[in-house]
Amino acid sequence: MSGRTVLITGPTSGIGRATAIALAAAGARLVLAVRDTDKGAALAEELGGKHVVRALDLSDLASVRRFAQGTPELIDTLVNNAGVASSTLQRTSDGFELQLGTNHLGHFLLTSLLLPQIKARVVTVASQAERASRLDLEDLNWQCREFRGGRAYADSKLANLLFTAELDRRLRTAGSPVQAMAAHPGLVVTAIYDDPQRRRRSVWDRLLPLAGQQPDQGALPVLLAITGDLPDAAFTGPRHLMHMRGGAQAIARSTRAKDPELARRLWTASEQLTGHDAAPVPTATAQ
């Protein structure tokens, strides 16, 4: 990775931190997109080298636009890693359901704005939780349905995969050499499961520390998606225990995640919600 610039969202904890550490060790220059710049600065100092820290709140589209305007350099790889999970209905500053707004719409806008500067890959951290999704394009923000936190999270992860598929289709149509990839880290012990809104610990809370792997293992599929010799729109994940633990390889996705019409419709809805027409544009290496 020497001589390459990687922009990663949410790098100060969990899988993002493990990914950043591995990339820096391999010689990459990192642009650390963080909500807490103090934590970002501490990580940059720990990593050494000429890494850059910039403020980004994916739950605020104005913040995403400011970040893109303040990121002038070419980027080899964009890693859409940051994510949230919530058991209760919460909304972003723009009024979106928090998980869809942060995990999908924030990254959708960020990628669209930065695409002219990207040289190699867009890697989006998704999840096999997408298989539990019942994505409703008529009610993406849970204004009509009874809210279910786990289902909303799964919806956001299916959205990540549909976004990757449609982005890849558009890149191929434009003749771009940039690739769009997605990665499933597996079952990982991270702070995303620490939901302060839950009133009591569940069986899941007790099992996770025993069954889950550590972030450095969860980062392996992400690193494969960043550096591996993979086909366009590949989805990577762990090798073992139904793709929940250990190693990294290309894995399958659900039938819905491969639906080109659903991907196209979600893309159109995402443009409308973010107020950004993500028309195909030349990428950095195509110029």
Sign for the CA dihedral angle at 133, 137, 141, 145 comes to negative
Question: Judging by DSSP bridges, how do beta strands 249-250 and 235-237 pair with one another?
Answer: antiparallel
264-277 in b/e form (b: 16+ CB < 10 A) is eebbeebbebbebe
Token pair listed for 126: 């998704």
Do the Cβ atoms of 156 and 106 come closer than 8 Å?
A: no
How many angstroms separate the CA atoms of 286 and 16, rounded? 29
Q: What is the dihedral of CA 207, 210, 211, 214, to 10 degrees?
A: 120
Token pair listed for 112: 């669209």
Can 153 be counted among the known catalytic residues? yes
Residue that has been written with the tokens 């501490």 in this structure: 42
How many angstroms separate the CA atoms of 13 and 27, rounded? 20
**Residue 87 identity (one-letter amino acid):** S
Catalytic residue, from 142, 153, 235, 267: name it: 153
How many angstroms separate the CA atoms of 123 and 180, rounded? 6
Catalytic residues: 153
